[in-house]
Amino acid sequence: MVAETAELLDTGGSEQRPRHIAIIMDGNGRWATERGWPRLVGHRRGAERVKQIVRACPGLGVNWLTVYAFSTENWKRSTEEVIGLMKIFRRYIQMEADGLAGEGVRLRFIGGRERLDPKLQTLMSSIEARTAGNSRLNLTVAINYGGRDELTRASARLAQKIARGEISEPSEADFEACLDTAGHPDPDLIIRTSGETRTSNFLPWQAAYSEYEFTPTLWPDFSPEHLATILDRFGLRERRFGGV
């Protein structure tokens, strides 16, 4: 896969590459429904697609990848689907732990963990500790994540620091240090699959200057070739950050 991805770089695109991309992985359920299959089949195919994109990123010059796996709003789905998704998350961590560690991937999670099953929380903490020394690719999985929830929790942390006298005049940097993504660079590019053009409560603070790409491709069909094409388009954009 790495060799194939390296070939994708020789397409004549700009040398400008995003250091950090974030993906709203949308369309798993629709993909399965269109084929007359249960929605969970689509989620399982989507998990397989995550593995392919993770392995492709280093060859495409991407150092940070954040994926939106389960939002705070996704608890509204059927009990069967939620339970199935949690099983997929556990299986992914268990089956991919050795591979991620061996390939130099550092895995971290953002989002509120208190609502997750204790066994899943233990698995999450275990693989975070196991891969903490890796740096080839920084993979962040947003699970039980919502941007407004993150900002609320960060505000509470900052207020506690102020009350303890640790901070007198809070700055943006102080607030960022209280976010789930403290220490992470902001995403340069955010991709949403499936044709929807909403940001859906994903990284509202971090995405203040991100570029967006909305693609009609459903997530289970989103290949490394799709990603390479989007990255080439990103290379043609002018990012002035308010300047001229």
For the question of residue 201 being annotated catalytic, the response is no
With contact defined as beta carbons under 8 Å apart, do 124 and 89 qualify?
no
Per-residue pLDDT, 173 = 97
Q: How confident is residue 1, by pLDDT bands cut at 50, 70 and 90? A: very low
Dihedrals phi, psi of 97, to nearest 5 degrees: -55, -50
- Does 12 score more than 50 pLDDT? no
Secondary structure of 93-117 in the HEC alphabet? HHHHHHHHHHCCEEEEEECCCCCCC
Please choose, from the candidates 126, 58, 131, 137, the residue with its C-alpha nearest in 3D space to the C-alpha of residue 90.
126
77 is in an annotated binding site: yes
Over residues 153-192, the pLDDT tens digits come to: 999 999 999 999 999 999 999 999 999 999 999 999 999 9
Domain ranges of the chain: 19-234
Which of 12-26, 47-61, 64-78 has the lowest average pLDDT? 12-26
For the question of residue 74 being annotated catalytic, the response is yes
Q: Which helix (H) or strand (E) holds 45?
A: helix 39-56
DSSP state of 188: S
Over residues 209-243, the pLDDT tens digits come to: 999 999 999 999 999 999 999 999 998 877 765 66
Per-residue pLDDT, 42 = 98
198 is in an annotated binding site: yes
DSSP state of 94: H
Over residues 107-159, the pLDDT tens digits come to: 999 999 999 999 999 999 999 999 999 999 999 999 999 999 999 999 999 99
- Does 19 score more than 50 pLDDT? yes
- Does 72 score more than 80 pLDDT? yes
With contact defined as beta carbons under 8 Å apart, do 66 and 23 qualify?
yes
Per-residue pLDDT, 95 = 94
Q: To the nearest whole number, what is the mean pLDDT of the chain?
A: 92
Structure-block tokens of residue 177? 């240090």
Per-residue pLDDT, 244 = 55
126 is in an annotated binding site: no
20 is in an annotated binding site: no
- Does 5 score more than 50 pLDDT? no
User: What whole-number percentage of the chain has pLDDT above 70?
Assistant: 91
Fold of 19-234: Undecaprenyl pyrophosphate synthetase (3.40.1180)
Please tell me which residue in 63, 74, 134, 201 is annotated as part of the active site: 74
